[in-house]
Amino acid sequence: MYRPHGALAATLALGAAGCSGGASGGKHSANSKEGGGNPAAANEGAAIGGTPRKGGTLTVLSNQDFEHLDPARNWVMNTMDFGTRLLYRTLVTYRAEPGGKGNELVPDLATDLGTPSADARTWTFHLKQGLKYEDGSPVTAQDVKYNVERSFSPGLPGGADYAARYLAGADGYRGPAEGRHLDSVKTPDDRTIVFELRKPFAEFPWATVMPTFAPVPRKQDKGPSTTTGRSPPARTRSSPTRAARSSSWSATSTGMRGPTGSARLVVVMGLKANQIDDRLIASQGAGLRRLLGNPLWYRHVLAWHRDGPLAGHGDEIVRTIGAGYLATCATSSAYARWRERHPMSAQLTD
């Protein structure tokens, strides 16, 4: 998950609304200069990019590398999203749906969102039955406890600090390396984990979304390279990372992620923004690639944006979108309707 900043964020949001078309795509007249409502809200709650399909290969293009994949250190937004969706699971997570529904908590490893004591200082979670690692070994409550404990280790800095902030008796604790354990995290059996807090905390389930609350089996702990029983392939910035779905994957167990999913994953890092644009465009077919190289077409789509979807927002924002985004508009219904009234002309200027 990448989070653009400032004007670029506004540009991307406006652009996404503009290319989407739909019922409101043609509401601006040829001479309209009204900005209308908020175009960024046009696709609120909608899944963009077509209907999800089961299987196949998901390719992720990125202009940066991962910060940390170890769940005890992973607290950077894009890397954390990659880790908790594709490498490991936490007690609780966010619903995998667009829009406001994506802010809802749902159980992941746990059977529910946790059971608090009357004063909200003790929280109990039960793991689902049949949870397994890639090698087929069972996921246990002791594995979750171990990762929470190792997040205190001085050699694993940078991770979420909710465990250190809220667990009772955590002051001065430095991890399990010397055989010490947190008495405030109890595992009465393999599927039950109990957290005792230093003060009431009604929002504790939100804390368990963090990778700190993913399981790590002690025997698989390799320090900062640990990824909870999964070993991501070696990678460099010039070569893609490739991974396949775990043989222990279960659609029933991961129901909150939906029934579909890719069988293979390829991550290409270290790309420049224009390289990402070019690869996205190339994936949409030769016809679209030819259009991108047509200066007349490029000016035509710019004119459409000024007249309709981005009217009133200024040429600078239109130009900031770039050729990569504009190329994807070639097949949009909104542009097609506008093109009927405004055929390409050699007199068009940019």
Query: Mean pLDDT for each consecutive 10-residue tract of the chain (350 residues)?
Result: 34 42 41 44 62 75 84 87 87 88 93 97 97 92 97 93 96 92 97 98 96 93 59 48 70 62 79 74 55 59 62 47 54 70 57
> How many other C-beta atoms can be found within 10 angstroms of the C-beta atom of residue 174?
12
3-state secondary structure at position 22: coil
- Residue 221 confidence (pLDDT): 87
| pLDDT tens per residue, range 29-55 | 434 444 444 544 556 666 655 666 777
- Residue 123 confidence (pLDDT): 98
Q: Residue 130: is it exposed, middle or buried by C-beta count within 10 angstroms (0-12/13-18/19+)?
A: exposed
**CA 340/CA 329 separation, integer angstroms:** 15
